[in-house]
């Protein structure tokens, strides 16, 4: 069975998505997610100009060989654009193979290791009353683990805080804005470090000790600041503290680790197992945050999880709404199969997004359950998609209060 055709589909049902559709000589269709928020067209071009032409006539079953051909064969390795493109090809080929076998994809990854994948949602608010409403809204929706992000007094726009709709707090916070150039946000780490522990104290007092709580520092701290934050949050028993430092300097986590027992999660901007080499070998983290979409697909991410499993490090697959339902479905198939599953991020896509992508996974009792359809279990509706063409959108740029560019 040969790969006969490849189409790169770019659409924007509320936000931008890049999807690869591969079609085989037997007419079997596979989908893969290649969305890179704010840099979508670079991956679309990489796929259309440099990858799809090389796939035509290749054996659709040769997933590992195709992965290595695209990874090693390009000579220029790694990086988000290359690895998102490889991820889309890899996921589409797994989708095809599972459809040919007549099995849901997780069966090819070893079968079920659990009934469902526990997820966490994103609660947020500019202040405590808004945050509490958002937490209650998530509990009513059935979430059993919740990420907490809040405004900081004196700052207008803070990472992770959703706008509030008339109908109540939103759950699908989208930081990328449809502007010709990125909007700029303002940041003060000392104000953040002073404020956050009081928020977690209030949340624990209101919602009790048992609810798993998570928090994302979004790459903004130095190692010593990160150590201080981890230590100050210890009384509130976080499930994890995410992206405390810009972790391309993996060794920086040694210092953080020496000072705090708060579990650490890192890796949504990483692309390969090499980005985790020190973090995993020295047990500097507790959860791997990479997405199927940005890590070379199921093949690339599974490699990282297998390495992590030898050190009791678990999965925490990245799943905000800029991972399409195709990428999320792949995450759920992988998460249900691996032994070292930790938790899955699930913000919920908008109704419009789910009109284009028809996901077969279901949210049951705070967990995601994969579709039992052969393959990934996601369909793509071209007719709906064509009414929602790409629109340029950028993630914000962050500046300190004196104007210095800072990590966003
Ligand atoms: O596109 C950027 C988002 O994927 C990122 O800001 C989301 O940090 C994020 C998370 O943990 O979901
Ligand atoms: Mg994050």
Same domain, 112 and 202: yes
Q: Is 160 in the pocket of ligand 1 (CB under 6 A)?
A: no
Ligand positioned closest to the Cα atom of 323: 1
Identify the active-site residue in 218, 294, 349, 406: 218
Domain contains 9 = yes
- Domain boundary (104, 135, 162) is at 104
Q: Is 293 in the pocket of ligand 1 (CB under 6 A)?
A: no
Same domain, 169 and 213: yes
Residue 380 is a catalytic residue: no
Looking at the chain, the whole-number percentage of residues with pLDDT higher than 70 is: 98
Residue 159 is a catalytic residue: yes
Distance CA 32, CA 50 (A): 16
- Residues 180-198, mean pLDDT to the nearest whole number: 96
CA dihedral of residues 295, 301, 304, 309 (deg, nearest 10): 150
Same domain, 11 and 140: no
Distance CA 333, CA 330 (A): 5
pLDDT in tens, 270-298: 999 999 999 999 999 999 999 999 999 99
Same domain, 70 and 167: no
pLDDT in tens, 301-327: 999 999 999 999 999 999 999 999 999
Token readout for 307 is 């390495």
Domain contains 305 = yes
Distance CA 237, CA 184 (A): 33
What pLDDT score was predicted for residue 173? 74
Average pLDDT, the chain: 96
pLDDT tops 60 at residue 374: yes
Same domain, 212 and 333: yes
Domain contains 137 = yes
- What is the DSSP annotation of 325-386? HHHHHHHHHHHHH-SS--EEE-----TTHHHHEEE--EEETTEEE---SSBS-EEE-HHHHT
- For ligand 1, atom 12, which residue shows the shortest CA distance? 320
- Domain boundary (104, 138, 157) is at 104
Of the candidates 396, 390, 397, the residue with the CA atom closest to the CA atom of residue 41: 390
How many domains is the chain built from?
A: 2
Higher pLDDT, 172 or 404: 404
What pLDDT score was predicted for residue 287? 98
Q: Supply the CATH number for residue 12's domain.
A: 3.30.390.10
Q: Supply the CATH number for residue 166's domain.
A: 3.20.20.120
| Ligand 2 centroid from CA 370, angstroms | 23
Distance CA 218, CA 159 (A): 8
Q: Residue 331: which pLDDT band, with cuts at 50, 70 and 90?
A: very high
Of the candidates 83, 98, 96, the residue with the CA atom closest to the CA atom of residue 42: 83
Q: Residue 156: which pLDDT band, with cuts at 50, 70 and 90?
A: confident
pLDDT tops 60 at residue 150: yes
Distance CA 207, CA 136 (A): 9
Q: Residue 166: which pLDDT band, with cuts at 50, 70 and 90?
A: low
Q: Is the dihedral of CA 247, 252, 254, 260 positive or negative?
A: negative
Contact 341, 312 (CB under 8 A): no
Among 148, 216, 345, which is best to mutate for testing ligand 1, by the most ligand atoms less than 8 A from CB? 216
pLDDT in tens, 78-99: 999 999 999 999 999 999 999 9
- For ligand 1, atom 7, which residue shows the shortest CA distance? 320
Domain contains 399 = no
DSSP H stretches of helix in 233-314: 252-259, 277-281, 297-309
Same domain, 145 and 277: yes
Same domain, 234 and 357: yes
Domain contains 51 = yes
Same domain, 159 and 302: yes
DSSP H stretches of helix in 102-127: 105-108
- For ligand 1, atom 1, which residue shows the shortest CA distance? 37
Looking at the chain, the whole-number percentage of residues with pLDDT higher than 90 is: 94
Token readout for 207 is 């919602």
Same domain, 98 and 167: no
- What is the DSSP annotation of 71-83? HHHTSS--SHHHH
Q: Residue 348: which pLDDT band, with cuts at 50, 70 and 90?
A: very high
Same domain, 66 and 115: no
pLDDT tops 90 at residue 164: no
What pLDDT score was predicted for residue 393? 96
Contact 146, 135 (CB under 8 A): yes
Identify the domain containing residue 238 by its residue range: 108-373
CA dihedral of residues 97, 100, 102, 108 (deg, nearest 10): -20
| Ligand 2 centroid from CA 217, angstroms | 8
Domain contains 385 = no
Domain contains 325 = yes
- Domain boundary (104, 119, 154) is at 104
What pLDDT score was predicted for residue 219? 97
Same domain, 43 and 149: no
What pLDDT score was predicted for residue 172? 64
Domain contains 36 = yes
Same domain, 48 and 80: yes
């Amino acid at each position: 069975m040969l790969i006969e055709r490849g189409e790169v589909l770019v659409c924007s049902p509320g936000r931008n998505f890049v999807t690869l559709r591969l079609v085989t000589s037997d007419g079997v269709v596979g989908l893969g997610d290649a969305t890179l928020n704010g840099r979508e067209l670079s991956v679309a071009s990489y796929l259309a100009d440099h990858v799809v032409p090389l796939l035509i006539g290749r054996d659709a079953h040769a997933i590992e060989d195709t992965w290595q051909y695209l990874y090693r064969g390009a000579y220029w390795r790694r990086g988000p654009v290359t690895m998102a493109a490889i991820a889309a090809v890899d996921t589409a080929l797994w989708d095809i193979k599972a459809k040919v076998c007549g099995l849901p994809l997780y069966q090819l990854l070893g079968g079920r290791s659990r009934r469902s994948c526990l997820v966490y949602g994103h609660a947020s608010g500019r202040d405590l009353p808004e945050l509490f409403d958002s937490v209650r809204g998530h509990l009513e929706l059935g979430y059993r683990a919740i990420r907490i992000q809040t405004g900081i007094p004196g700052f207008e726009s803070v990472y992770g805080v959703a706008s509030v709709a008339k109908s109540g707090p939103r759950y699908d916070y989208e930081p990328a804005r449809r502007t010709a150039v990125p909007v700029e946000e303002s940041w003060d780490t000392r104000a953040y470090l002073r404020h956050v522990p009081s928020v977690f104290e209030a949340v624990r007092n209101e919602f009790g000790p048992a609810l798993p709580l998570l928090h994302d520092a979004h790459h903004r701290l130095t190692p010593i600041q990160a150590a201080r934050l981890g230590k100050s949050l210890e009384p509130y028993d976080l499930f994890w503290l995410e992206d405390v430092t810009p972790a391309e300097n993996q060794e920086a986590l040694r210092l953080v680790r020496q000072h705090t027992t708060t579990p650490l999660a890192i890796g949504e901007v990483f692309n390969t197992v090499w980005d985790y080499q020190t973090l995993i070998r020295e047990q500097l983290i507790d959860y791997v945050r990479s997405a199927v979409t940005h890590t070379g697909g199921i093949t690339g991410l599974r490699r990282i999880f297998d390495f992590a499993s030898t050190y009791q490090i678990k999965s925490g697959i990245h799943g905000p709404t800029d991972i399409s339902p195709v990428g999320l479905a792949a995450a759920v198939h992988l998460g249900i199969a691996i032994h070292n599953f930790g938790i899955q991020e699930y913000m919920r896509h908008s109704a419009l997004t789910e009109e284009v992508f028809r996901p077969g996974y279901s949210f049951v009792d705070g967990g995601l359950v994969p579709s039992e359809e052969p393959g990934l279990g996601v369909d793509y509706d071209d007719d709906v998609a064509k009414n929602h063409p790409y629109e340029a959108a950028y993630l914000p740029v962050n500046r300190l209060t004196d104007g210095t560019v800072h990590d966003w």
